[in-house]
Amino acid sequence: MKFIHTSDWHLGRRLGEHALLDDQRVFCDCLVELAVDEGAELVVVAGDVYDRDVPPTEAVTLFRSTVRGLVESGIKVAAIAGNHDSAERLSAYDGLTERSGVLVRGGFTSADAPGRCKRRQPLTRHLHNRVARRSVAPTLRACLVRVSTCSG
């Protein structure tokens, strides 16, 4: 599988009085074009989609149109909240978009909360009848990492 890994889009960010949305729109357009040209099957956004908890409407619209452009080109999207995003706000997408090839996760359910981790465990992934195991780094709790497969 060919994928493009991105992070820290910070949509809606400003530098003083100067809005960066026009520049961010160029980035998003180039990302869609790159993903199509490279034959990517997936684009990952590993946090900080937005620059703040309550992003401007224009930033939300830009993210939505970028995701739409990718999906309409046959490219799946996986995005998670970062420290600048509101996990609760991004969680509004949970479950609503998976059928269209978009997976957005804002955070963990209370059962998965850090204080509820009982033990460390290795990650196991079944891929084409092979099993890949990785130990979780000591600084990362295994219960905070989800391993799942996409079917599409």
* DSSP output for 72-98: HTT-EEEEE--TTS-HHHHGGGTTTSG
Same domain, 13 and 53: yes
Answer yes or no: do 84 and 134 share one domain.
no
**Cα dihedral 140, 102, 32, 55 in deg (nearest 10):** -70
Which of 25-29, 86-90, 92-96, 107-111 has maximum average pLDDT? 25-29
pLDDT of residue 34: 93
**What is the tally of structural domains in the chain?**
2
pLDDT digits (tens, 9 = 90+) for 60-100: 899 889 988 998 999 988 887 777 666 666 666 555 555 56
Percent of the chain with pLDDT over 90: 21
Question: What residues have CB less than 8 Å from 24, skipping those under 6 apart?
Answer: 9, 10, 11, 12, 13, 59, 62
In this structure, the answer to whether residues 70 and 140 fall within a common structural domain is no
The predicted structure's pLDDT at residue 92: 60
Token pair belonging to 148: 């799942």
* Same domain, yes or no: 83 and 13: yes
Helix (H) or strand (E) holding 130, with range, is: strand 130-134
Domain that holds residue 147: 110-152
Domain shared by 27 and 69, yes or no: yes
Helix pair angle (57-72, 21-38), 10° resolution: 10
Position 2 confidence tier, pLDDT thresholds 50, 70, 90: confident
Mean pLDDT of 54-59: 88
* pLDDT band for position 31 (cuts 50, 70, 90): very high
More confident call, 137 vs 67: 67
Specify the pLDDT at position 77: 86
Same domain, 89 and 137: no
- Tell me the pTM: 0.63
Any idea what the CATH number is for the domain that residue 64 is in?
A: 3.60.21.10
70 & 16 share domain: yes
- Of residues 50 and 47, more confidence is placed in 50
- If asked whether residues 102 and 121 sit together in one domain, one would say no
pLDDT of residue 79: 81
Alpha helices (H) along the chain:
21-38, 57-72, 87-90
